[in-house]
Amino acid sequence: MADTTLMDKLVSLCKRRGFVFQSSEIYGGLGSVWDYGPLGVELKKNVKDRWWRAMVHARDDIEGIDAAILMHPRVWEASGHVAGFTDPLVDCRHCKNRFRADDPRIKGTPGQPDAQCPVCGSKGTLTEPRLFNLMFKTFMGPVEEQAAVVYLRPETAQGIYVNYLNVLQSSRQRIPFGIAQIGKAFRNEITPGNFIFRTREFEQMEMQFFVKPGTDAEWFERWREWRMQWHRDLGLTPERLQWHQHGPDELAHYARAAFDIQYQFPFGWQEIEGIHNRGNFDLGRHQEYSGKKLEYFDQAANERYLPLIVETSAGADRVTLTLLVDAYREEEVEGETRVVLGLHPAVAPIKAGVFPLVKKDGMPELATALYHDLKRRFPAFYDDSGAIGRRYRRMDEAGTPFGITVDGETTAQRTVTVRERDSMQQERVSVDQVAEYVAERVGVS
Ligand code: GAP
Taking a C-beta distance cutoff of 8 angstroms, is the pair 271, 219 a contact?
Answer: no
Phi (first) and psi of residue 240, to 5 degrees: -95, 10
Q: Ligand 1 in contact with 63 (CB < 6 A)? A: no
Q: What percent of the chain has pLDDT over 70?
A: 99
Q: Using DSSP, state whether 300 is helix, strand or coil.
A: coil
Q: Ligand 1 in contact with 321 (CB < 6 A)? A: no
Compute the distance from residue 194 Cα to the ligand 1 centre, in Å: 14
Mean pLDDT of the chain: 96
pLDDT grade for 246, boundaries at 50, 70 and 90: very high
Q: Ligand 1 in contact with 345 (CB < 6 A)? A: no
Q: What is the pLDDT of residues 132-191, one digit of tens each?
A: 999 999 999 988 887 789 999 999 999 999 999 999 999 989 999 999 999 999 999 988
CA atoms of 356 and 280, how far apart (whole Å) = 62
Q: What is the pLDDT of residues 286-313, one digit of tens each?
A: 999 999 999 999 999 999 999 999 999 9
- Cα atoms in the 13 Å half-sphere on the side-chain side of 117: 18
| The predicted structure's pLDDT at residue 15 | 97
Mean pLDDT for the stretch of residues 227-235: 97
| The predicted structure's pLDDT at residue 144 | 80
pTM, to two decimals: 0.95
pLDDT grade for 279, boundaries at 50, 70 and 90: very high
Taking a C-beta distance cutoff of 8 angstroms, is the pair 429, 405 a contact?
Answer: no
SS3 percent helix, strand, coil of the chain, rounded to 5, is: 30, 30, 35
DSSP character string of 314-348: EEHHHHHHHHHHHHEEEEEETTEEEEEE---TTT-
Mean pLDDT for the stretch of residues 115-135: 95
pLDDT grade for 4, boundaries at 50, 70 and 90: low
Say whether pLDDT at 245 is over 70.
yes
Compute the distance from residue 199 Cα to the ligand 1 centre, in Å: 10
Q: Ligand 1 in contact with 189 (CB < 6 A)? A: yes
Compute the distance from residue 315 Cα to the ligand 1 centre, in Å: 6
Say whether pLDDT at 235 is over 80.
yes
Compute the distance from residue 18 Cα to the ligand 1 centre, in Å: 25
CA atoms of 163 and 160, how far apart (whole Å) = 5
Q: Ligand 1 in contact with 203 (CB < 6 A)? A: no
Other residues' Cβ atoms within 10 Å of the Cβ of residue 438: 22
Helices (H) and strands (E) in the chain, counts: 13, 23
Q: Report the chain's terminal Cα–Cα distance, integer Å.
A: 38
Whether omega for the bond prior to residue 176 falls within 30 degrees of 0, making it cis, is yes
Mean pLDDT for the stretch of residues 197-211: 98
Mean pLDDT for the stretch of residues 247-261: 92
Q: In what order do the strands lie in the sheet with 177-186?
A: 62-64, 177-186, 201-211, 308-315, 268-279, 257-265, 241-245
Compute the distance from residue 288 Cα to the ligand 1 centre, in Å: 26
